[in-house]
Amino acid sequence: MSTTTRVTQRMIADMAGVSQSTVSLVLNGKADEARRIPSATRDRVLEVIRETTYVANPVARSLVGAATGLIGVFTYEPAFPSRSSDFYTPLLTGIESAAESVGADLLLFTSTPVVAGRRRLFHESNRLRLADGCILLGREMDPVELERLLDSAYPFVAIGRRDAADGRVPYVGVDYASATHSLALRALGLGHRRVGFLRLSQDAESSRDRRAGIVAAASEVGASVTEAEVTTDRSVTDAWAAIRASRPTVVFVEDPTDAHELHAQLAADGISVPDDLSVVVLGEHNRAADGPADFTRLRAPRTELGAHAVRALTGVLEARRTPAQERSSATPPVQELLDCSLVPGGTLAAPAA
């Protein structure tokens, strides 16, 4: 047979000496119907499929409700620009490795357009149903879209803790609240009592969790916290100017890129880190060497995060295959938080006398 010939179910049926409907039942793998096929017949069909390297059409399989073996990945922000890749690359590495271990292929959904830097999950070109389920990535996710996805009963797992839909969203995230609280207590234990905080907007749960950790630690020791938000309209320099009057002895910075900009600004102002001012970062870039400063920082287990998300979604899909009468309607959604680690770095010290 020519390698350019497209193998069809009809051709497989002729070669195996069975009907096309028998081939379809074997491919679709519906347990109740497949049991009616003698094992010898099923083995003969599978052998012909192996010999011809036939690949079942995932569209056809999804239309009949059969598993396609595809796991979808949807990113709210473009995944591959240089700054985005710092965040997404380790996540995608973990997703790829775990998908390989369970024998699944990945399908990256890119057909929905990017508007104002973000994709919409529901769009006329949406093809979510091509995959058995989907992993959602993004700093911020539209709560309305998440609720709509839940209502559709489509299997998915979000990466990152999500508050939407009354806590019904399945997710695998990072325990930023506890990690930030511990790191803040470490700084406060050195004697810092005037804290600055350069943060991102509070729209994302991860940002709210980081802020909660700092505020809680400061309240425990009676320290003050002066905050400034870095936005597209407010630069790191402007945000630093807004908190500088409070004379902080330590500054927490949420975004690693902002931390490097702040470090350069401090150097230009003649402020030495950490002799004059300590700087602590609540995250890190994927790149090992990203600047002159070895920041004291949190390290999120992003590769593990991606792998855990695949395993969580696989568990959801396996549960769906359980007969309806054996399922528990009270089963809570998957909601898992992984621990951060602390990188000591060299930018945290006791405040100057």
Domain ranges of the chain: 9-56, 70-174+303-339, 176-300
Which one of 3.30.300.30, 3.40.190.10, 3.40.50.2300, 3.20.20.70 gives the CATH number of domain 70-174+303-339? 3.40.50.2300
Q: What is the DSSP letter of 26?
A: H
Distance of alpha carbon 110 from alpha carbon 82, whole angstroms: 17
- Summarised one tens digit per residue, pLDDT across range 48-64 is 877 776 666 665 665 55
Residue with tokens 């005037």: 194
- pLDDT over 90 at 205, yes or no: yes
Is 197 a residue whose pLDDT tops 70?
A: yes
Q: Of 37-41, 156-160, 254-258, 280-284, which gets the smallest average pLDDT?
A: 37-41
pLDDT(142) > 70: yes
The answer, yes or no, to whether residue 325 has pLDDT greater than 70, is no
* 232-256 per-position pLDDT tens digit: 899 999 999 999 999 999 999 999 9
Backbone angles phi, psi at 26, to 5 degrees: -65, -40
- The whole-number pLDDT of residue 51 equals 74
Identify the H or E element spanning 229.
strand 224-229
Within the chain, what is the greatest distance between any pair of CA atoms?
A: 89
Cα 242 to Cα 344: distance, rounded to the nearest angstrom: 27
Distance separating alpha carbons of residues 195 and 269, to the nearest angstrom = 19
9-56: CATH architecture: Orthogonal Bundle (1.10)
Site of tokens 């060497």: 289
Q: Which residue has the tokens 């073996």?
A: 69
Question: Using one digit for the tens of pLDDT, what is the confidence trace for 277-317?
Answer: 999 999 987 654 456 789 999 999 999 999 999 999 999 99
pLDDT of residue 315: 93
- The pLDDT value given to residue 285: 76
Q: What is the pLDDT of residue 76?
A: 87
Count Cβ atoms below 10 Å from residue 323 Cβ, excluding itself.
Answer: 8
Q: Mind giving me the DSSP string for 83-115?
A: HHHHHHHHHHHHHHHHHHHTT-EEEEE--SPEE
- Specify the pLDDT at position 324: 57
CA distance 286 to 87: 7
User: What is the predicted pLDDT for the residue at 119?
Assistant: 80
- Fold match flag (9-56 vs 70-174+303-339): no
Mean pLDDT on 69-84: 80
In sequence order, which residues have a C-beta less than 8 Å from that of residue 96 and are 6 or more positions away? 106, 306
> What is the mean pLDDT of the segment spanning 186-204?
95
* Closest by CA position to 198, among listed 242, 232, 247, 161: 242
Q: With pLDDT > 70 as the criterion, what percentage of the chain qualifies?
A: 85
pLDDT digits (tens, 9 = 90+) for 103-128: 999 999 887 777 776 788 887 667 88
- Which pLDDT belongs to residue 2? 44
Which of 15, 16, 106, 27 is CA-nearest to residue 62? 27
pLDDT > 80? residue 65: no
CB-based contact 352:277 (threshold 8 Å): no
- Would you state the pLDDT for residue 5? 55
pLDDT of amino acid 54: 65
By the 8 A CB rule, do 148 and 122 touch?
Answer: yes
pLDDT given at position 3: 44
Asked if pLDDT for residue 75 goes beyond 50, the answer is yes
Is the pLDDT score of 329 beyond 90?
A: no
CATH of the domain spanning 176-300: 3.40.50.2300
For the ranges 74-88, 164-178, 263-277, which has the lowest average pLDDT? 74-88
